[in-house]
A and B are shown apart, each in its own frame.
Chain A
Amino acid sequence: MTRLLDVENLTLQFDTDEGRITAVDNVSFSLEAGEVMGLVGESGSGKSVTAKSVMKLNPSNAIYSDNTNITLHLDSGPVDIMSLKTSTDLQVVRGGAISMIFQEPMASFAPAISIGSQMVEQLQIHTDMNAKRAQEVSIEMLDRVGISDASSRFKQFAFELSGGMRQRAMIAMALSTKPKLLIADEPTTALDVTIQAQVIDLMKDLVDDFGMGIVFITHDLGVIAQTADKVAVMYLGRLVEQGTVRDVIRNPAHPYTKGLIAALPQLDDLDTPLTPIPGDIPSPLERPSGCVFNTRCSANLGERCSSAIPEFLKVTDDHQVACHLYDEGASK
């Protein structure tokens, strides 16, 4: 496999009226071409902000730390994302080498411009196709994602399409420039289960066809289990566990991951009562010291958890966890 993306020490703060908020704290991960990485966490965990950092799509009050390093490996050589300053520089990655699918497809299409014009515009910016060729490619893509009668849908507006259809069109548009990396931010959350199953299938097919890497952001562990090769679990801006999808879901090591799984209603076991994780995710203005999860953790070791930030430790070769329970000599 060839390395596609390296994110090292990503730390991101926002300057707000209420003070400086740490949204992402020292997050590192990497992605190979053709690999699907699931990024899981509750709302406020920083998963969307992390993914948007890869194309510097965060608002202007975002402050990246000096040691943040994001490298995208393209055929033409590595691109240092943090060194790209102007929007002209960033155009190479935004919509070109990297595409993004958002949660709410109604909000991501311009309402007064036809789906087709938007697809053609994007192709003309990022490729040297002429308008006629761009239209052919767009209709081909619409057809490829399972939209019937693609040439008439091409002329329609976003409001004329159903939710599932709109999300397919969004995917078609995102993939038409043949990106190397696709960021999918909760792409199925707004859809019904039956449509979600169709969209997941479609995305899996497209990974096989196009060989791109995908960062798949979701709060739904079931969706992750069905799509991802590996998983990274985030809580309050920090990665707490990462590994292959089998390792993390079958043998979760971090108390937070265990808690997420125990809180999930499962159909094959209706007798076990649901176990909520006590308390709420703290405000980013009041980040707990030490391990960020210590205020809600049932396995809290006391002093150690509230003062020292846990380092990543190996559970197996492909599975790491940041938790003091697994420190050398920690009392269990």
Chain B
Amino acid sequence: MSDDVLIEARDLSVHYPLRGGGLFGPKPVVRAVESVNLDIGKGNFFGLVGESGSGKTTLGKALLRAAPITRGSVQYDDGDAQYALTNLMGKDLKDYRKRAQLIFQDPYAALSPRMTVRDIIAEPLEVMGLTSSREETDERVREIAAKCRLNLEHLRRFPHAFSGGQRQRISIARALVSKPQFVVADESVAALDVSIQADVLNLLQEIQQEMGLTFLFISHDLSVVAHICDHVAVMYLGRLVETAPTRELFSAPKHPYTKALLSAIPSLDPDDRGKAQKLEGEIPSPTNQPSGCKFHTRCPYVTDLCRKEEPILQHSSDGHEVACHRWEELMD
């Protein structure tokens, strides 16, 4: 594992068994994440995009050891501490939780209505035993609250008094108070209005640079990802289909799915109507996956090879990887 990589996933799979199936037949499983190889560099703002049902949340959870890892390995190495996530238990798992945190999507559901903002932010410190006195806890809470642009007098209030944007800043403060190295932000701006969303995005970016954090930013919104992330991975039905530095991905997408996703974003130009390349159909069910390339049922460039053989993620240019049999011919 190279020095500048914080998280290294190899052949990572997460399967959930389903009830039912024949007495002697195989149990049906949901293959939420399948054979993912992924490196997240230290200090990266790493974006993970895909439609709902593509497995992006499950992948994020697996990297936090919050989803069961069925197969493969995940290594974490921040220089001070190393963990192999597959076998992490007991004290080591608790230690890992201090270094890896999650920011949730819905700031209305994520904060307890019966706790003051101070208690909400202080709870991780108390649970993890990171501070030795109440004074020290308060000091840490005030410090992170200031960083997240929360007013100190807000700390005594309850979450219901706050707007969506302020609540999301409280969630961010809570996630960052234990000084983690790795933060998974799962659709953290999806529930916010655009005018507020920009503010939270700018805050995440500032904090990331100031604290030297590594972010995994999960989103279905490609324009948000384009603005905030330096590296992007695109998921489809549990697989990574393309990964590249942000600008490279958005200027020269190689996978037909990435191209279709980009072209489906409604343009702000009213004269640009109907130019989008439309994707037919919907994402297949993860219990009943198509053969070969998982995207072949919706791909306009499908061939017999695509139906039979699943393409693997291969190097295409500097830092750019794509899983498609035909990406080279489709470039011209």
- Residue A198 interfacial (CB < 8 Å): yes
- Residue B137 interfacial (CB < 8 Å): no
Let me know if A280 and B196 touch, CB within 8 A.
yes
* Contact partners of B266 in chain A: CB under 8 A: 193, 196-197, 200, 220, 222-223, 225-226
Specify the chain A residue showing the minimal Cβ separation from B201.
A274
- Residue A115 interfacial (CB < 8 Å): no
* Contact partners of A246 in chain B: CB under 8 A: 270-271
Complex Cα distance, B262 from A222, in Å, reads 13
Let me know if B268 and A263 touch, CB within 8 A.
no
Let me know if A225 and B269 touch, CB within 8 A.
yes
Complex Cα distance, B274 from A267, in Å, reads 18
Q: List 7 A-B contacts (CB under 8 A).
A: A42-B193, A197-B266, A200-B266, A221-B194, A223-B266, A225-B272, A263-B194
B199, B265, B266: most-surrounded residue (chain A CB, <10 A): B266
* Contact partners of B220 in chain A: CB under 8 A: 192-193
- Residue B224 interfacial (CB < 8 Å): yes
Segment 151-184 of A: residues with Cβ below 8 Å from B: 162-165
Segment 181-203 of A: residues with Cβ below 8 Å from B: 192-198, 200-201
- Residue A249 interfacial (CB < 8 Å): yes
Complex Cα distance, B282 from A197, in Å, reads 12
Q: How far is the CB of B201 from chain A (nearest CB, A)?
A: 6
Complex Cα distance, B51 from A43, in Å, reads 24
Let me know if B250 and A267 touch, CB within 8 A.
yes
Q: Known contacts A226-B267, A266-B268, A280-B165: does B52 contact A192 (CB below 8 Å)?
A: yes
Specify the chain B residue showing the minimal Cβ separation from A148.
B281
Complex Cα distance, B221 from A274, in Å, reads 15
Let me know if B261 and A194 touch, CB within 8 A.
yes
- Residue B197 interfacial (CB < 8 Å): yes
Let me know if B195 and A267 touch, CB within 8 A.
no
Complex Cα distance, B204 from A327, in Å, reads 39
- Residue B260 interfacial (CB < 8 Å): yes
Q: Known contacts A162-B282, A196-B266, A220-B266: does B261 contact A276 (CB below 8 Å)?
A: no
0/1 per residue, A255-275, Cβ < 8 Å to B?
Answer: 000011101111100100111
Complex Cα distance, B197 from A67, in Å, reads 37
Let me know if B198 and A270 touch, CB within 8 A.
no
- Residue B91 interfacial (CB < 8 Å): no
How many A residues, CB 8 Å from partner? 43
Q: How far is the CB of A226 from chain B (nearest CB, A)?
A: 4
- Residue A126 interfacial (CB < 8 Å): no
Q: Known contacts A193-B222, A265-B227, A267-B262: does B194 contact A280 (CB below 8 Å)?
A: no
Complex Cα distance, B196 from A150, in Å, reads 42
Let me know if B202 and A274 touch, CB within 8 A.
yes
Complex Cα distance, B127 from A91, in Å, reads 57
- Residue A245 interfacial (CB < 8 Å): yes
* Contact partners of A270 in chain B: CB under 8 A: 226-227, 246-247, 250
Q: Apart from A197-B278, A264-B223, what are 18 other A-B pairs with CB-CB below 8 Å?
A: A164-B282, A193-B220, A193-B222, A198-B279, A223-B266, A226-B273, A249-B269, A260-B195, A265-B198, A265-B221, A265-B223, A265-B224, A267-B250, A267-B262, A276-B198, A277-B195, A277-B196, A277-B198
* Contact partners of A201 in chain B: CB under 8 A: 274, 278
* Contact partners of A313 in chain B: CB under 8 A: none
- Residue B163 interfacial (CB < 8 Å): yes
- Residue A219 interfacial (CB < 8 Å): yes
How many B residues, CB 8 Å from partner? 45
Q: How far is the CB of B130 from chain A (nearest CB, A)?
A: 32
Let me know if B226 and A267 touch, CB within 8 A.
yes
- Residue B110 interfacial (CB < 8 Å): no
* Contact partners of A194 in chain B: CB under 8 A: 51, 260-261, 264, 278-279
Q: How far is the CB of B157 from chain A (nearest CB, A)?
A: 14
* Contact partners of A266 in chain B: CB under 8 A: 223, 268
Let me know if A281 and B163 touch, CB within 8 A.
yes
0/1 per residue, A273-314, Cβ < 8 Å to B?
Answer: 111111011000000000000000000000000000000000
Specify the chain A residue showing the minimal Cβ separation from B227.
A265
Complex Cα distance, B279 from A197, in Å, reads 8
Let me know if B265 and A193 touch, CB within 8 A.
yes
A162, A193, A281: most-surrounded residue (chain B CB, <10 A): A193
Q: Known contacts A194-B264, A225-B267, A225-B270: does B224 contact A276 (CB below 8 Å)?
A: no
Contact partner, B197, options A245, A261, A263, Cβ 8 Å: A263
Complex Cα distance, B260 from A63, in Å, reads 47
Specify the chain A residue showing the minimal Cβ separation from B191.
A43
Let me know if B193 and A43 touch, CB within 8 A.
yes
Segment 208-266 of A: residues with Cβ below 8 Å from B: 219-223, 225-226, 245-246, 249-250, 259-261, 263-266
Let me know if B227 and A274 touch, CB within 8 A.
yes
- Residue B101 interfacial (CB < 8 Å): no
Let me know if B227 and A221 touch, CB within 8 A.
no
0/1 per residue, B135-170, Cβ < 8 Å to A?
Answer: 000000000000000000000000000011110000
Let me know if A276 and B202 touch, CB within 8 A.
yes
* Contact partners of A193 in chain B: CB under 8 A: 51, 220, 222, 261, 264-266
* Contact partners of B247 in chain A: CB under 8 A: 270
Contact partner, B196, options A195, A225, A276, Cβ 8 Å: A276
* Contact partners of A277 in chain B: CB under 8 A: 195-196, 198
Q: How far is the CB of A158 from chain B (nearest CB, A)?
A: 16
Segment 205-242 of B: residues with Cβ below 8 Å from A: 220-224, 226-227
